[in-house]
Amino acid sequence: MLSQKVRSLQQSGTKPNILVVGDLMIDHYIIGDANRLSPEAPVPVVNVTKEFITPGGAANVAQNLLSLGAAITLGGVTGNDADAGKLTEILEREGVNASAIFSDKNRPTTVKTRVMAGSHQLVRVDRETTIPLLPELQHQFVANIKTAIDAADIIILSDYNKGLFSPELTQELIEAANAAGKKVIVDPKGLNYAKYKSAYIIKPNRKELAEAAKVESITNLEELQQAARVILQQTEAEYIVVTLSEQGMAIISELAYKLSPVKATSVFDVTGAGDTVIATMAYFIAQGLSVEEACELANHAAAIVIRQTGSAVTTVDEILQDIENR
């Protein structure tokens, strides 16, 4: 049984070394009460009761992996500003190796500020630049991260479309990983999936897959397979793993197709669930499990986090408990 395999891994005490490369950001929350409208404009006045920041984007993937028990190196680009210092401080305090984070004085650290009245989001304010790195900075970034690639058991590219993953840089990273014999799992964004050529797994959701394959919509499993095969041909990836919300996941390769049904019994908040899925997949593939087994476990992990509010993480023990409860 799958749960017995996972327990054996736990007992062995192995700790995979996972490199996460991606768009880094800070999630900034301003929370308060809104009981009246402003006399200046028809907008609510928020009396702030709490304010905090958490690592977001690829840094949230790293936090999911930490919770599972992996050793993490995180690579990405921040600005040369106070927010970069705050982000690095949090990550290092939590045990993330931040040595592969690169500073670019020409861009700000991405910050998403959410103003909340209770659990209701009133507005989100983004500070960001999505232009690609200058060519010389791209080369420096790849050169600096090659040591981390060599040391990793598996590599995640977490693309939030914030400017890091230009086609040139993405291909340099994948080529360096393949040359070192390391599998690359991609959480994609945007329409240009050709830049992910030769990745091991590409993990879009249904909407992202339809856009990338240039089809109007995906309404059934036949259309899903056809769209996935367009991307397989374009990228030469080994697998396309499509997250399907309430239907679970589809695992598609050139020769096979498998649907892994959803494990969720209730849904409160899907925030960050995609980060949990890719982190869980990478963690267990790095431990030697098959793609199908890793996706089954990722379904359980997603079911756990969407029962909670906000970006949440889970543990291997909680995943095992979820399996046994069913």
| Whole-angstrom distance, CA of residue 146 vs CA of residue 150 | 6
Q: Where does residue 37 rank: exposed (0-12), middle (13-18), buried (19+ CB within 10 A)?
A: exposed
Place of tokens 């695992």: 251
DSSP state of 205: B
Closest CA to 198 of 158, 171, 222, 161: 171
Look up 187 and say whether it is catalytic.
no
- Between CA 258 and CA 263, with CA 260 as vertex, the angle to 5 degrees is 175
DSSP helix/strand/coil, 3: helix
- Give exposure, 265-303, as e/b (b: 16+ Cβ within 10 Å): eeeeeebbbbbbbbbbbbbbbbbebebbbbbbbbbbbbb
Only one residue has tokens 């090659």, namely 146
Residue 313 backbone class (left: φ over 0; alpha: ψ -120 to 50; beta: rest)? beta
Instruction: Show the beta-strand stretches assigned E in the chain.
Output: 17-22, 24-37, 44-57, 71-79, 97-104, 110-117, 120-127, 154-158, 184-187, 201-202, 239-243, 249-252, 257-260
Rounded distance between C-alpha atoms, residue 224 and residue 215, angstroms? 10
Q: How far apart are CA 184 and CA 52, in angstroms?
A: 33
Which amino acid is it at 167?
P
Catalytic residue, chosen from 153, 275, 317, 322, is 275
- Encoded tokens for 72: 């993490």
Q: What does the block give as tokens for 234?
A: 């374009």
Residues annotated as part of the active site: 275
